[in-house]
Amino acid sequence: MTPILAAITTESPARDTYIRMRGYAAPAHFLMQSIADDDLKIAVLSILLNVVVADHDIISNDSIFIQILDTLMQRTSENQEHSLNNISLLANKYALICMIVRSLKSSQLELVPMASVLGTFSGIFHFVKSNSRPHIADAQHEQISDMWFLTVSALAECMPVIAIPQGNKALWRDELKKILLDGTWLKEESNALEQLVQSCE
């Protein structure tokens, strides 16, 4: 673990840090470790998110992102407790999953088992709903608001490219419509949710 720990604790730009991690084929392996500290996992996820936000083409051109996606999908049932730190881990994890999926080529998406896709995206929709602004304390939502918004926005772009059964989409759409009526929203958040609702039509 020493090389990746050294990589993520430097002050280098995210892409440079990613290249160092990539040299050890380390990101997926590190994220798979159940003993790894949550803060360190969040640091790795944050670096990967910064890289793909800046250059989404890197996802379809670097095979390690398929490995990372597989690892993240396997770990979607981990750390479901509602402590703030674990919610932050889930927020970063789900945001990265959506960012990867929306940028994969069709031939790459075909390699992802449908059971994993359904299980993962059901978890993501539950996360979006249960951690929306009206459903948790303002201070807690503020800690994950950026990742929540990124997840919702990327999720809307995932819907047209993954083969989710229409029944699932209809259920998720109806649940999202309900939470839009649940309370007061920031305009950008409600707009993102409305786009997600439309993507489930």
Looking up residue 157, the CATH number of its domain turns out to be: 1.25.10
Task: Please report, rounded to a whole number, the percentage of residues in the chain having pLDDT higher than 70.
Answer: 74
pLDDT tens sequence across 18-69: 666 665 555 555 565 555 677 777 878 888 888 888 777 888 887 778 888 8
| Cα 195 to the center of its chain, rounded Å | 17
- Answer for the pair 48, 88: CB distance below 8 angstroms, yes or no: no
Rg (C-alpha) for the chain, rounded Å, is: 16
Confirm if 180 and 193 have CB atoms less than 8 A apart.
yes
The parent domain of residue 163 ranges over 2-199
Report pLDDT digits (tens) over 148-169: 899 999 999 999 888 889 999 9
pLDDT of residue 36: 62
Whole-structure pTM value: 0.81
b/e 36-66 (16+ beta carbons within 10 angstroms → b)? beeebbbbbbbbbbebbeeeeebbeeeebbb
Q: Look at the chain and report how many structural domains it folds into.
A: 1
